[in-house]
Amino acid sequence: LTKAVVITGMGGLGKTQLAVEYAYRYGRYYSGGVYWLNFAKAESIDEEIAAIGGERRLGLFSETDRLPLAKKLDLIKQAWQEPTPRLLIFDNCEAVDLAATWLPISGGCSVILTSRLNRWPKAMPITHIPLLTLPREASIPFLQQLADHLTAEEADRIAHEVGDLPLALHLAGSFLAQQDAEVSIETYLAQLREARLLQHESLQGKHARYSPTGHEMNVARTFAVSMEQLDLSNPVDSLVPMLLSRAACFVPNEPIPLSLLDFPLFDDARDEFIQEGVARLLSLGLLGRMDAATAVIHPLIALFAHNNLDVDTSASQQALEKDLLARISAHKSQDVDLITLPLSPTHLRFIVDQALLREDCTAVSLTNLFVAHLLEIWHFEDARHYIERALTLAARICGAESLVTAVAHINHGNLLFKLGDYKQAEPHYERALAIYSTLF
């Protein structure tokens, strides 16, 4: 182990468990001992550290010495500078300044920090180890180890449903082990979907009898701890719930252009605050950075954002739709066609499908743009499905003589034209022309 490493990532990935495993395997090589320190509460860290200096641990003082707290801390810091090999574990260290204050600058100590913060100063003498969700080939045997009656196919389906998050896998496996064959996998998966996943008793830890780390065994509560790091009186932090709600409008585990997240949400929101808010989301591990321009959201965090934030998720969805309308329309005006899009077609399809549930003119307008893209890439069956939906809604909601309805007719005409059905295409072009003549 190098002198200091920080294990980072969103809640539920197993950061503390990794530190536990290292201490279990290699702790015997640290002749000065292994010391576990809870850094979750800044106000109690002094007492937490002072507690390891007593007779039964470092042996630097006894209670009968009645030393002031500051003196105890000085003695411990001095001991950490000695060449004696010791392993210090700073668990749940969510502030860079706390780490900087307590990291030994010399001596024989090695330090493991666990943190949700994904951004650490490069100048700090610390190695960064970001954790990701488990690969599927690891999730399947992990579930089968917990619930040995599961087949590989069943374990694969459960892992997919919970997004390969280690904590969720542990809870699901523990639940199914208790139920044994009493609950079929089909029933369990149906229950997860009906309960909106995070509300299901299995993911609230009700059947997990043992926590390997003593940490929270409720998935939603684990994510809430990340949100509790925010200071909502701070203009940047106050934007984070809205930004997370916005990110949750995209497809989980599909790269999201960061430019679509830092688009201003409020008239009075300054651009730099939005950008810093996105950076805060990334630093807390609520979004995972893919590269300099994109990030992803885990499916369970997306569910948490929809169900647990004090945010109007419908307003977030509609704001995103309006942004996309403007962006895609501008893209179309520059490139004439829509062979390419400013975001993944997977995202646009998902957002369009959500918008259509609301049945309004914004949804139809966005659908019209998506159809134009589908026609350009020759996905005619997909295009037909969305055209029929757009035409029905446009006439009923936006009006038979509206511009939105005219565009839907043009799309229908274009589809039929590309299919070689020129005779059937003509009435749609004529109807669109009649509407344009009325409007303009």
For residue range 110-120, list pLDDT tens digits in order: 999 999 888 89
CB 110 within 8 A of CB 80: no
Q: Quote the pLDDT of residue 202.
A: 64
**Structure tokens given for 217:** 């065994």
160 and 210 co-located in one domain: yes
Question: Greater confidence, 202 or 25?
Answer: 25
Q: Is residue 222 one of the residues assigned to a domain?
A: no
pTM confidence score? 0.75
Number of structural domains found in the chain: 4
Burial category of 151 from C-beta neighbours within 10 Å (exposed 0-12, middle 13-18, buried 19 and up): exposed
* CATH number reported for the structural domain that contains residue 324 in this entry: 1.25.40.10
Q: Quote the pLDDT of residue 310.
A: 84
308 pLDDT above the threshold of 80: yes
pLDDT band at 420 (very low <50, low <70, confident <90, very high): very high
Q: Quote the pLDDT of residue 391.
A: 94
Determine the 3-state secondary structure of 141 from DSSP: helix
Q: Is residue 402 one of the residues assigned to a domain?
A: yes
118 and 93 co-located in one domain: yes
338 and 425 co-located in one domain: yes
Domain boundary among 149, 182, 217: 217
Q: Is residue 224 one of the residues assigned to a domain?
A: no
Domain boundary among 217, 242, 258: 217
Q: Is residue 225 one of the residues assigned to a domain?
A: no
Q: Do the strands 127-130 and 256-257 form a parallel or antiparallel pair, or are they unpaired?
A: unpaired
Q: Is residue 223 one of the residues assigned to a domain?
A: no
Distance separating alpha carbons of residues 212 and 234, to the nearest angstrom: 35
32 and 150 co-located in one domain: no
299 and 374 co-located in one domain: no
Secondary structure element (H or E) that encloses residue 352, with its range: helix 345-358
CB 75 within 8 A of CB 53: yes
358 and 270 co-located in one domain: no
Domain boundary among 250, 281, 311: 311
Q: Is residue 289 one of the residues assigned to a domain?
A: yes
Distance separating alpha carbons of residues 364 and 151, to the nearest angstrom: 44
Mean pLDDT of 220-240: 84
Q: Quote the pLDDT of residue 261.
A: 85
Mean residue pLDDT across the chain: 87
55 and 70 co-located in one domain: yes
292 and 332 co-located in one domain: no
Q: How many CB atoms lie within 10 A of CB 12?
A: 30
pLDDT band at 80 (very low <50, low <70, confident <90, very high): very high
Cα–Cα distances in angstroms (integers) from residue 98 to residues 73, 101, 217, 344, 393, in the given order: 14, 5, 26, 40, 56
β-partners of residue 267 are none
Q: What percent of the residues of the chain are helix, what percent strand, and what percent coil, each to the nearest 5?
A: 55, 10, 35
Q: Is residue 24 one of the residues assigned to a domain?
A: yes
Mean pLDDT of 384-399: 93
Q: Is residue 406 one of the residues assigned to a domain?
A: yes
Q: Quote the pLDDT of residue 200.
A: 65
Mean pLDDT of 241-250: 93
194 pLDDT above the threshold of 60: yes
Mean pLDDT of 326-344: 84
Q: Quote the pLDDT of residue 266.
A: 54
pLDDT band at 264 (very low <50, low <70, confident <90, very high): low
125 and 9 co-located in one domain: yes
307 and 320 co-located in one domain: no
438 pLDDT above the threshold of 70: yes
pLDDT tens-digit series, residues 158-180? 999 888 998 888 888 888 887 66
Domain that holds residue 144: 136-217
Among 86-100, 108-122, 205-219, the least confident range = 205-219
213 and 302 co-located in one domain: no
48 pLDDT above the threshold of 70: yes
* CATH number reported for the structural domain that contains residue 97 in this entry: 3.40.50.300
394 and 425 co-located in one domain: yes
18 pLDDT above the threshold of 80: yes
